[in-house]
Amino acid sequence: IGDFVVEYGPLGFTKGTGTVLNLDASEKSAKLQNLQEDTYYDAYILSVCDTNNVSKPIGPVTFKTIFFNDVGVAGVAYPTDENCNLTSSENIAIQLANFGQSPQSLFNFKFAVNGIPAAIPIPSDGFFTGVLGNDSLLTIEFETPYNFSKPGYYLIEAWTEMETDNDLSNDTFRYELITALSKPLMEDFEAGVLPDNWT
């Protein structure tokens, strides 16, 4: 018998009917086996004092597993509101994220500006061939540039496309960008009248 006992099972399971792990006090973690994805479970933890005595159980501790396959875009790294004087040929950089349990590779990533998808030539751009591990974040830049030279409002949307993705709700990230507006120009101040909003 180990120094700790962990018993786990489906949400609401009756104690004594779950899967039991006996752990030595020196172990800092335990790996729970055969869990289903996107599922709630309960666990109880007991301390073993000796062969005849155990502590009152702590629990149930309720937790939910994540999906096996789940990638998406977690953010836009470039451009941001801090970037001034954007040009007619700016590369957009995004943060790809693996929200799932399994490492992922070979999936598409795309972007649109103001609702118009960019013409990304896949697979030369927008096709991820590396390996994105569990709970990993990777900043990647599109090779296809966008024209941000006209001052004003831009809605950048970036997303992933993977056939085996189990959760589509976190695939897309939206970022609103307002670039510097050009100052109004007015001539002939002889009348002494200023434009609206000027002091």
Q: Are 182 and 150 in contact (CB under 8 A)?
A: no
pLDDT in tens, the chain (199 residues): 458 899 999 999 999 999 999 888 788 888 899 999 999 999 999 988 776 777 888 999 999 999 999 999 999 999 998 887 899 999 999 999 999 999 999 999 999 999 999 999 999 999 999 999 999 999 999 999 999 999 889 999 999 999 999 999 999 999 999 887 666 665 666 666 776 766 6
DSSP 104: B
Residue 146 CA from chain centroid, whole number = 24
Q: What is the pLDDT of residue 38?
A: 95
**Beta-strand pair 107-113/71-78:** unpaired
The 3-state DSSP class for residue 51 equals coil
Q: What is the pLDDT of residue 67?
A: 96
Residue 41's H or E segment, with its range, is strand 40-50
Q: Are 103 and 138 in contact (CB under 8 A)?
A: no
| Angstrom distances, CA of residue 116 to CA of 80, 146, 158, 184 | 19, 11, 11, 29
Q: What is the pLDDT of residue 83?
A: 80
Residue 123 preceded by cis peptide, ω within 30: yes
Surface-to-core class of residue 109, CB atoms within 10 Å of its CB (0-12 exposed, 13-18 middle, 19+ buried): buried
If phi over 0 gives left and psi between -120 and 50 gives alpha, with beta otherwise, what is residue 34?
left
Q: What is the pLDDT of residue 191?
A: 65
Q: Are 4 and 55 in contact (CB under 8 A)?
A: no
